[in-house]
Amino acid sequence: MRNTPSVDRSRRSALASALGLAAAACHAAPVNAAPAGTGSLSARQQAIVPIAAFAASGDIARLSAALQRGLDAGLGVNELKELLVQVYAYAGFPRSLNALGELMKVLEARRQRGLRDREGPLPSRPVPRGDALLAAGTANQTKLSGGPVRGPLFDFAPAIDEFLKTHLFGDLFERDNLDWQSRELATIGMLSALAGVEPQLQAHLRIAMNVGLGAAQLEQLVQVLEAQVDAEAARRARETLERQLAATRSGG
């Protein structure tokens, strides 16, 4: 395993760091890319990227403006909550909590200005528990990664394998009020904003293609990072996307 995430300060933060999906997906069996998506990212999809990036990097001032743009683009309050909760799996609980706190402030300020934001859907079904959660999470992980995820890392630390399956792919990905394309756009935005996680970023770019996002849409994501986040995040995303597209062309 290359660049395995280090253990974080607390047990829960260790889980959040290790839950970087690509730490598992880098060991998935090779898969064929899904048919390329057509068209462009919608305004709603584009708005997800800087929100996720600023939340993960802890840039609260710029997050506030990005949340405003996301609400104006049609993202619902519950969808934004879901996105910012997901931040903790990749950037830790503190950044997720701070981002959720900023969303509360933004919503209150908008209410005081007389704006009525769309609430958006809640999950349509309860998240399973026990053995059913493990089964659901394993199925989600396999579908997203394109094949069963296994490798020596999980033999070495089986607890992280269980946490990935039951928590990230179960507890989070079973919550269907944020679709999988949106979750992957958010994850790519988060990882692009963080240094040193390029292997995980490449894995998520592959997963984004598995869930139907095409190369042109991912290139547009890079453009959004360049225009709305910063040049360094865009560079990481661009270079990693080029590696992933080359691997796809070669059948890797």
CA dihedral 241, 203, 75, 220 (to 10 degrees): 10
Q: Flag whether pLDDT at 170 surpasses 60.
A: yes
Tokens of 236: 């990481």
Distance CA 8, CA 152 (A): 21
* Number of separate domains in the chain: 1
Per-residue pLDDT of 144-161, as tens digits, reads 999 999 999 999 999 999
Flag whether the pTM goes above 0.95: no
Residue 2 belongs to some domain of the structure: no
Q: What is the CATH number of the domain that holds 59?
A: 1.20.1290.10
Range of the domain at 172: 11-148+158-249
Asked if residue 251 has pLDDT above 70, the reply is: yes
The CA distance from 70 to 48, in Å, is 7
Residue 31 has pLDDT above 90, yes or no: no
Q: Is 149 helix (H, G, I), strand (E, B) or coil?
A: strand
Of the pLDDT bands very low, low, confident and very high (cuts 50, 70, 90), residue 38 is: low
From CA 170, how far away is CA 21, in angstroms rounded?
A: 12
Q: Is residue 1 part of a domain?
A: no
CB < 8 Å & 24+ apart, contacts of 246-249: 247/202, 247/206, 248/33, 248/206, 248/209
Sign of CA dihedral 84, 86, 90, 93: positive
Does residue 5 fall inside a structural domain? Answer: no
The answer to the question of residue 84 being in a domain is yes
